[in-house]
Amino acid sequence: MDIGSLVWNEYHGLLRFGTIASKTIKEDGWAYYTVAWHRDEMYEEQMKWRETMTHTNYYITEYRKDMLHLFSRDRLRDIVECVSGGKKCGYQKCKNKKCKQKRNLQLS
């Protein structure tokens, strides 16, 4: 993972997408990253609510490498287009009825 890499993180059911902004190797040997999150309003709201309920700030600012996962912008776009019926996804076992992959298959 490098600065500028696209990553995702799952937090209590929220799927978050962001871009790595910085990387630090700490004394424990782990790489830690700061991430510029994209359209992260739901996480922000959850953190504010949690702080209101517990009077503790649980907002995460650095993420250990095992908390982040790389993703491809092209793959994500293909998945979104498949789900929305915009184009075939190319996955032969696609179960989405709207996917053009299904519409293009010949039934015998």
Per-residue model confidence as pLDDT tens digits over 81-94: 777 766 666 666 66
* pLDDT tens sequence across 34-70: 999 999 999 999 999 999 999 999 989 999 999 999 9
To the nearest 10°, the Cα dihedral for 4, 64, 72, 6?
Answer: -30
Q: Supply the pTM of this predicted model.
A: 0.74
- DSSP, collapsed to helix, strand or coil, labels residue 94 as coil
